[in-house]
Amino acid sequence: MNYYSRLSDIVSNRIEDLLSETSDQAQAITGIIDEIREGLTGAQRSVKAAKNSVDRLMGELSERQGEAEVLNTRARQLLQQHDEAGARQTLLRRRECLDLAAGIEQQLIAARSTHEHLQTIHRAVEARLAEAVRIDEKLRRGVVPIPQPATTTKMHSVVAAPPDNSRMKLVEDDLLALRRELGHA
Amino acid sequence: MNSPSPAIDTALEDDQLMVRLQEGDRLAFPALVKKYQQALLNFFFANTRDRQLAEDLTQDTLLKLYDQAWDYLPSRRFRGWMFRVARNLLIDSVRRRTNDALVKAVQGPPDESSLLDSLTSQSDDSPVQNADRSELARAVDELLPTLPEDQRLTFTLHHFAGLSLAEVAEILEASLATTKSRLRLAREKLREELEARGFQA
Q: Is A15 on the interface with B (CB under 8 A)?
A: no
Question: What are the phi and psi torsion angles at A6 (to 5°)?
Answer: -135, 160
* Angle, vertex CA A118, rays to CA A55 and CA A104, nearest 5: 35
pLDDT in tens, A18-46: 999 898 999 999 999 999 999 999 999 99
Q: Identify the pLDDT of residue B177.
A: 92
φ and ψ at B72, to 5 degrees? -80, 130
Condensed to tens digits (0 to 9), the pLDDT of residues B85-114 reads 999 999 888 777 644 544 444 444 444 344
Q: Report the alpha-carbon distance of residue B143 to residue B190 in Å, rounded.
A: 7
pLDDT cut 90: percent of chain A above it: 70
Asked if A46's CB is within 8 angstroms of B22's CB, the reply is yes
Share of chain B above pLDDT 70, in %: 77
- Report the alpha-carbon distance of residue B140 to residue B163 in Å, rounded: 19
Cβ A8–B71 below 8 Å, yes or no? yes
pLDDT of residue B75: 86
| B135: number of Cβ within 10 Å | 15
pLDDT at A15 over 60: yes
Q: pLDDT value at position A73?
A: 94
Write out the H or E segment, with its range, that includes residue A134.
helix A84-140
* Chain B residue nearest residue A122, CA to CA: B70
pTM of the predicted structure, to 2 decimals: 0.69
pLDDT value at position B120? 45
Low-confidence residues in chain B, pLDDT < 50: 1, 98-99, 101-123
Q: Tell whether the model's pLDDT for residue A87 goes beyond 50.
A: yes
Q: What is the pLDDT of residue A150?
A: 52
Q: Which of A2, A43, A48 sits opposite B75 (nearest CB)?
A: A2
pLDDT at A16 > cutoff 50: yes
Rounded to 10 deg, the angle between the B149-159 and B78-96 helix axes is 140
- CA torsion through residues B167, B171, B174, B178, sign: negative
Check residue B199 and give its pLDDT. Answer: 81
Residue B2 has a pLDDT of 53
Averaged pLDDT for residues A100-119: 96
- pLDDT score of B112: 39
Mean pLDDT of chain A: 88
As for the ipTM of the complex, it is 0.73
Task: Please name the member of B24, B70, B72 whose beta carbon is closest to the beta carbon of A52.
Answer: B24
pLDDT in tens, A124-175: 999 999 999 999 999 998 876 655 555 544 444 444 555 667 777 877 887 7
CB pairs under 8 A between A and B: 48
